[in-house]
Structure 1
């Protein structure tokens, strides 16, 4: 999937809007888009960004301290 940046967008903002989180996905997006980091913190309007498939987040088992 590809997205275009809007005026004033940062990569973190785009990722949060698309995935709902940024942890762990930022590195994947930068690897898929060589040169993206060189554009600076605020991306130029209309920058095309290739997005990886949303990773599935593993469910952690629920631990109860008291039964």
Structure 2
């Protein structure tokens, strides 16, 4: 588990986006690992420690188009 600290006007979504590259599907895991975060409302106070669980990140596959074969 990794610990990060909230910056000014931070949200759980923003923390997930910065650290995992997405928020879909990971916000729930972060809130489960940090039940105290729900007490703060939408904005987490600056300097609050947030534990980030190990989550497999999805690799985005890009389809390439070749103009000439």
* Band of TM-score, shorter chain: 0.7 to 0.9
Aligned residues: 61
| Pair 1:54 & 2:29 matched | no
Pairwise CA distance, 1:56: 4.0
Consecutive unaligned residues of structure 1, counting only runs of 5 or more, are: 63-67
| Pair 1:35 & 2:53 matched | no
For structure 1, which segment, 8-17 or 51-60, has the greater mean C-alpha deviation from structure 2 after superposition?
Answer: 51-60
Consecutive unaligned residues of structure 2, counting only runs of 5 or more, are: 64-69
Pairwise CA distance, 1:21: 0.3
1:13 alignment counterpart:
14
Q: What RMSD, in angstroms, separates the aligned Cα atoms of the two structures? A: 1.9
Q: TM-score, normalised by structure 2?
A: 0.77
Where 2:36 maps in the other structure, the secondary structure is: coil
Q: TM-score, normalised by structure 1?
A: 0.79
